[in-house]
Every structure is written in C-alpha cells, then in structure tokens.
Amino acid sequence: MTESTLAGPVPDTLKIVVAGGFGAGKTTLVASLSETEALHTEERMTSISVGVDDLEGVEDKTTTTVALDFGRITLDPTTVVYLFGTPGQRRFSYMWEELVQGALGAVVLADTRRLADSFDSIDFFESRAVPFVVAVNCFDGHSTHRPEDVRTALDVSQHVPVLLCDARRRDSAKEVLAQLVSLVLRLAQADT
C-alpha cells in the first residue's frame, strides 16, 4: 500500500492569491480565513526602510511581510483552498510571479487611504489574465466609499467585482472569496 492509500485520497487543491498595497490588510485577511494558524513572514520595520516605505496613512505599522502569508481552508474532504498573501511593497514584487503560478484567481485588497497602492496589483493580474476581485478594506474610523466610486478611481472593468469588506471578520472575508469563485465560474462558462 502507498502512503496516500493509508491516509485516504489526496484532496484537490485550489490556490488563491491575496495582493494589494503596503498596509492594506493582506496578512489580516489570510489570518481571518485560515482554519489553522496562518504562516506569516513578518519582520519588524527598521530604520533601513525610512525613505523606502511610505507610512502615510499607516503610521502605526511596525512590521511588514517580506516573503508571503499562507493559510488553508478545507472546503470538504476532497477540496482544500490555499491562500497566499503577497508582500505589498514594490521591492518585493519579484515574489508575485512565483506566487501567482497556478492560481485560480486573486483578491486585490484596497485601502482607500492609499488607493494608488492598488494599481501595481491590478496591473499585474490584468496583464496575466488572472481573474481578480477588488475588496476595499473598511478600517475603523475611516470613511468608506461606494464600490462604484472605487471602481471609477481604480479604472477597473465592469466585470471585476468591487466590494467592501472588513479583513478582520471571517464572514466578511469569506464573502470576498465567494465573489471571486463566482467570477471564476462565470468566466469559465463564458469560455466554453
């Protein structure tokens, strides 16, 4: 008998990438969704990042993702979703190419305090024809914007869902993934 026979069938795996600007809440979203303790490659920000990382709007941020965040969701005994969060700074963008390989789709997490930080992620997924949704992370104490206003500001296509979320709340984060899966299914049906 093989090891997989003893352990049962190997589940199908789906890969979703979570991207967005520096401080948008990617690590938080992965952690709120993961059924196990999420893996984070967070490092303390040091004086070396002064002048490199723009902290405007996220002045209290003391750590940053330097490689990836990783989480897992078991949908059923035959299907597992793996979540890969990307680093937000452009200097770590070389990681994005590796992380997107084999991805079902992506979530671009946007922070309206720093909306321009979303453009790199949007351009990246558009240029590679990776289906994505834009999830506007609604932080306490900051005004939210209507999804259509964010769509206009980011200049994303009408077929790309733009929705509001709270990355700290599991139910809100799950709705973001549900919207992504719905988009992927619609695009697959349109292709056939």
pLDDT tens digit sequence for 71-115? 989 988 888 999 999 886 666 677 788 888 999 999 999 988 889
Question: CA–CA separation, 192 vs 187, rounded Å?
Answer: 9
Question: Per-residue pLDDT averaged across 118-134, rounded?
Answer: 95
**Does 6 score more than 60 pLDDT?**
no
Question: CA–CA separation, 136 vs 123, rounded Å?
Answer: 17
pLDDT tens digit sequence for 148-161? 999 999 999 999 99
If one counts every other C-beta atom within 10 angstroms of the C-beta of residue 157, the result is 7
Contact 82, 70 (CB under 8 A): yes
Question: CA–CA separation, 28 vs 159, rounded Å?
Answer: 26
Question: What is the predicted pLDDT for the residue at 24?
Answer: 86
pLDDT tens digit sequence for 62-76? 555 555 788 989 988
- Eight-class DSSP state of 22: T
**Residue 7, SS3 per DSSP:** helix
pLDDT tens digit sequence for 36-61? 777 666 656 555 555 555 555 555 65
pLDDT category at 3 given cuts 50, 70, 90 is: very low
- The sign of the dihedral angle between the CA atoms of 139, 32, 86, 53 is positive
**Does 29 score more than 70 pLDDT?**
yes
Question: Per-residue pLDDT averaged across 127-150, rounded?
Answer: 87
Q: Output 146-151 pairs: Cβ under 8 A, ≥24 positions apart.
A: 150/110, 150/112, 150/115
Question: What is the predicted pLDDT for the residue at 150?
Answer: 95
| Residue 23 burial (10 A CB sphere; 0-12, 13-18, 19+) | buried
Could you give the residue ranges of the DSSP H alpha helices within the chain? 3-7, 26-33, 94-100, 119-127, 147-154, 170-191
* Domain range annotation of the chain: 11-191
Kindly indicate whether the domain formed by 11-191 is annotated with CATH number 3.40.50.300.
yes
pTM of the model as a whole: 0.79
